[in-house]
Structure 1
Amino acid sequence: MTRDASLTEFGVGGDDEEPADGTTGSESPDGEATAESGTIGGRDAPDPVRPTSRWSVDPRPCTDCGSQIQRAWTEDGRLLCSDCKDW
């Protein structure tokens, strides 16, 4: 991919056009806001963001080996040191 890549080359999204009926994605044709569960602008909502690591001033134990760590990496809901993390 070149440095001049367009954002549309990275997947679904980036469509700034309004629907042909003149409403936005959050309005019904009569101008009222709608609450679409699990969708954004008629598309499936993205998965929630999950952190890949955490840092703490106070060291905490690694879930697998028990060593005290400040930087913990997440894997399947567990906080692991970099040696125990399955890369």
Structure 2
Amino acid sequence: MTRDASLGEFGVGEDDEQSTVEPAESPTDADGAAAGSTAGGDHDAPDPIQPTSRWSGEPRPCADCGTDIKRAWTDDGRLLCADCKEW
């Protein structure tokens, strides 16, 4: 085979055909609830997503220095300018 082989030179095997396997039913527990569900409350909920920055069309003051900024970076719930944000 040369370095510039075409895809047709690799051939198609029997394993390349799409199978028509039916998806398996999801397992259930004794109560009939789907496995992995959190209905029992045994699992901790994931932490909510916290934004790292915010943008506003109207300038707002930085929580530390008071400079008017349109893009504010979050730091412990405060909105800061890029100069005041501890990186």
TM-score tier (shorter):
0.5 to 0.7
Q: Identify, as 1 or 2, the structure richer in strand.
A: 1
Identity, in percent, stands at: 67
In the superposition, the TM-score normalised over structure 1's length comes to 0.58
CA RMSD of aligned residues (A): 2.4
Residues 37-70 of structure 1: per-residue CA shift (max 9 Å, x gap): 362xxxx432211000000000000000000000
User: How far apart, in 1, do the equivalents of 2:50 and 2:41 lie?
Assistant: 20
Which structure has the bigger radius of gyration?
2
Aligned length: 60
In the superposition, the TM-score normalised over structure 2's length comes to 0.58
Alpha carbons of 1:49 and 1:65: their partners in 2 closer, same or farther (altered >3 Å)?
same
4+ long deviations beyond 4 Å: none
Q: Give ranges in structure 1 of 5+ residues lacking alignment.
A: 1-17
Q: Give ranges in structure 2 of 5+ residues lacking alignment.
A: 1-24
